[in-house]
Structure 1
Amino acid sequence: MTDDVPPFVLASQSPTRRRMLEAAGVPVHLTDRPGVDEDEVKAAFRADGAGVDDVAEALAEMKAHRVASRHGGCLVMAADQMLDIDGTWLDKPQNREQAAETLRLLSGKTHRLIACAVVVKDGGRIWHQSDSARLTVRSLSEDFIQDYLDKVGDAVYDSVGAYQLEGVGAQLFSRVEGDYFTVLGLPLLPLMAFLREHRVLPN
């Protein structure tokens, strides 16, 4: 990277997003945790009657601005992913029973995942992209759910839906409609097009 190419900063501690970016050859200069109270923001937006897509975009932008304030001159990207099932917004499970409850709720139903990414530089939003995917979970037995949680371990807490499509979580689904990277939590291809424009990636 030459001196006139801005460093790329990931405003997230998500191991999945960092792995995704680095596997695609995106040079992540550093990661920085935004420290945004997502539950408070979601509650405020829900009280205002906001849609789930608006919440994902607002959270991503808030995170990016928070981290960009500490890294002048850098391209700071944050992302957020929301899961909507029949009007209910799900959060990342905090313990095994919450993960099991999430899987029971998703079992036999179709839900929507929304992923939004925002890039901020020196206090201004210069790019954003939202995308969504529809995923249908097959009917899951209780024995399967417990066995799945045994296999996945603590990784189940990294995903809003208690699954990782790139691993054994693929066994949960009967149908996936949408971009693979969006399901993983990031509209990666549009992001890479943006990074090529800013010479972070080669043309």
Structure 2
Amino acid sequence: MDFSSPLWRGAEPLLLASTSPTRHALLRGAGLTAETESPGVDERAVEAACVGLGPTDLAVRLALAKAEAVIARAPGRIVVGADQVLECDGVVFHKPADAAAARTQLARLAGRTHRLHSAVALCGGGHAPETFVETAHLTLRPLDAASIAAYVALAGPGATASVGAYQLEGLGIHLFTRIDGDHTTILGLPLLPLLARLRARQLLAF
């Protein structure tokens, strides 16, 4: 596959410590050369070691763990790690394991505003690791059990593919009454602050 780009100035393609097709698509859409690699990080083990951390700090710790795992195998590369933590009323939610878990999770989020904390860790290139986190606030409309079941059935794998049991860029948009936050933050890779940091490292053409 050709990863050449007139925009990217790195000697090798940007390395995304994630196999998320959504994050990869965001980078490609911004004209960035990018490769992906699974970090192989046990997220729940990292979380268990971070008891007492708030959701934003937890998101940063997870993103950094992923970036560090990949750069250890690919020294000299520019690596981006990312993670997203959903928090509602002080409770951290995880990606639902199956359709039943997705229905339960959506019932708990329905009629409430939750927060998506999207963290990024940028490592390599002779610089100390940089981390940042952006937060979006999303309000689900009140949903009865029949509506939730209908959505989960229609969404199929999309209902279990993300931490919120929805994909905003798909059928998930029907679940909301209000969304406050950058779209790329909601999708799990806040591009504006990431691009600013890449420009500061002279890795972009403009």
What is the TM-score with the length of structure 2 in the denominator?
0.90
Which of 34, 42, 45 is the equivalent residue of 1:40?
45
Structure 1 counterpart of 2:114, one-letter code: H
Task: Determine helix, strand or coil for the equivalent of 2:142.
Answer: coil
**2:116 corresponds to 1:110:** no
Instruction: Tell me by how many angstroms 1:56 deviates.
Output: 0.5
Shifted more, 1-10 versus 93-102: the winner is 1-10
Shifted more, 186-195 versus 89-98: the winner is 186-195
Which of 145, 148, 151 is the equivalent residue of 1:148?
151
The match for 1:165 is: 168
Structure 1 segment 76-95 matched on structure 2, within 5 A: 76-95=79-98
Cα deviation 1:25-46 (Å, max 9, x = unaligned): 1210x21111111111212212
Instruction: Tell me by how many angstroms 1:125 deviates.
Output: 3.7
The match for 1:21 is: 27
Cα deviation 1:84-114 (Å, max 9, x = unaligned): 1111100001111011111001001111110
Structure 1 counterpart of 2:78, one-letter code: L
Please give the alpha-carbon distance, in whole angstroms, between the structure 2 residues aligned to 1:109 and 1:168: 19
Cα deviation 1:31-82 (Å, max 9, x = unaligned): 1111111111212212xx1111111001100110000011121100000100
Q: Residue 149 and residue 180 in structure 1: after superposition, are their counterparts in 2 closer, same or farther (change >3 A)? A: same
Structure 2 counterpart of 1:13, one-letter code: T
Q: For the Cα contact (< 8 Å) 1:133–1:177, is it kept in 2? A: yes
Structure 1 counterpart of 2:48, one-letter code: A
The match for 1:12 is: 18
RMSD: 1.8
Q: Residue 168 and residue 185 in structure 1: after superposition, are their counterparts in 2 closer, same or farther (change >3 A)? A: same
Give the unaligned 5+ runs of structure 1: none
Structure 1 counterpart of 2:158, one-letter code: A
Please give the alpha-carbon distance, in whole angstroms, between the structure 2 residues aligned to 1:7 and 1:199: 14
Structure 1 segment 66-77 matched on structure 2, within 5 A: 66-77=69-80
Aligned length: 200
What is the TM-score with the length of structure 1 in the denominator?
0.91
Please give the alpha-carbon distance, in whole angstroms, between the structure 2 residues aligned to 1:149 and 1:200: 41
Q: For the Cα contact (< 8 Å) 2:86–2:163, is it kept in 1? A: yes
Task: Determine helix, strand or coil for the equivalent of 2:49.
Answer: helix
Which of 55, 58, 68 is the equivalent residue of 1:55?
58
Q: Residue 123 and residue 159 in structure 1: after superposition, are their counterparts in 2 closer, same or farther (change >3 A)? A: farther
Instruction: Tell me by how many angstroms 1:164 deviates.
Output: 1.2
